[in-house]
Structure 1
Amino acid sequence: MANDTMVTLQGWLGGEPSGRDVGGVLVTHFRVACTPRRFNRQREEWVDGETQWYTVSAWRALADHCLRSLRKGDPVVVHGRLTHRSYVNKADTEVVALEVEAITVGHDLSRGCTEFRRTSPAQGFEPAAGAGAGASGAAA
């Protein structure tokens, strides 16, 4: 843990979060798009850079809270451990995927307002109820 690469992302949810049961533990996955903006002094205007996509995974209570709280298009701030994996896609091209195992996730309050609601352990994820694609088994 001492040598983990920690990152903080500021971006937008690219789709609805999806949750699933992994051995009785809820994990939620979602994609975050981060588009850097730079001021071009020659043109005197803001220019968008290339959008970078990150897959984020959240576990246990954080996973449940992400399912209940996040929606496609939401501005978010994610802090966690950066990992990468390589694989060969269908076009036979090697791809490097950047992934973040979230420690904290929240709405980006520089983009709007939100309301905090504390949950109790009794309101958490129940594996028997299942976690379908994009919805938790618990009522919001």
Structure 2
Amino acid sequence: MAYRYRQEAGDPGEPVTRIAPRALMVPPGFPDFMSRTRVVRPGRVPLEGRAWSGYGEVARVEVSTDDGRSWGEAELAPPDGNVWAWRRWRTSSAAEPGRQVPSARATDATGRTQPVEQPWNRGGFGNNLVQRIPVGCVPGT
């Protein structure tokens, strides 16, 4: 089987059978093409996205606006009755002039949480690293 988490050649590894917990965020604001940074104005900025896991129902989504130094819980939409379905989440953040890095991470009912640093494996499988979106907040006019 080709899809296995291996650390070195010849390692039998563990088969890839399920999707690791994952939360993705809709990029806030509007894009600046040259810097690849999103741009927002000062004030409340909505943050929202979807989360899913192949190990169980999504139990929690946390959001950080300071590049992962602190985390706050987002509001999860009610489950739709299917533990394998993605769930909507949302929150908001106070944007102030300068650079911010909103990030989102999911935790499922089994306790698995998205990593802040991606564990390495030979095939590069299971990439579920916490999403980070650089945002520049420009003063209002």
The normalised TM-score by structure 2 is: 0.27
Structure with bigger helix share is 1
